Amino acid sequence: MAALVPAPTSVSDHEPPMPSMVAQDQPGLADSSDDEPTYEMCVIAAERAKALAVTLPHDDISRYFAERNLQQAMTEAGNGEFDDCLGWAQQAALEVVEHRHQLQPGEKLDILGPDQ
């Protein structure tokens, strides 16, 4: 598996960190100030973050948040905002790697439905 470029954390909780998570040892995928992000780069970064997320148990709260970040990444890609897509994919990967959210025994995350 390729080495990932660590990204600095974001100042805001609502903005993804930059630069993106891409492989340095794969030609054409290295993050460079000369290269504009592409849809393909977004898909690769999202697939790598998803591969990390599925290593956590299905009911793990960090996995839940990582999957929401991946949904946002693909929304950004669909809107042509490839730099934001890469940032959200990086955020998803960091969520899994750092295991940022954990519930205490007996706690549960109440997820509201769309009608609530």
Assign 1 a pLDDT band (cuts: 50, 70, 90): very low
Q: How many domains does the chain fold into?
A: 1
Q: Does residue 9 belong to any structural domain of this protein?
A: no
Q: Does residue 105 belong to any structural domain of this protein?
A: no
Q: Does residue 24 belong to any structural domain of this protein?
A: no
Residue-range definition of the domain harbouring residue 51 = 39-98
Q: Is the pLDDT of residue 18 over 70?
A: no
Q: Is the pLDDT of residue 33 over 90?
A: no
On whether the CB atoms of residues 69 and 98 are closer than 8 A, the answer is no
Sole residue written with tokens 């669909």 = 78
- Give dist(CA 43, CA 33) in Å, integer: 19
Mean residue pLDDT of the chain comes to: 79
Q: Is the pLDDT of residue 76 over 90?
A: yes
pLDDT for res 34? 60
**Angle between the N-to-C axes of helices 39-53 and 61-78, in degrees from 0 to 180, rounded to the nearest 10:** 170
Q: Does residue 116 belong to any structural domain of this protein?
A: no
Q: Does residue 109 belong to any structural domain of this protein?
A: no
The span from the first CA to the last CA of the chain, in angstroms, equals 42
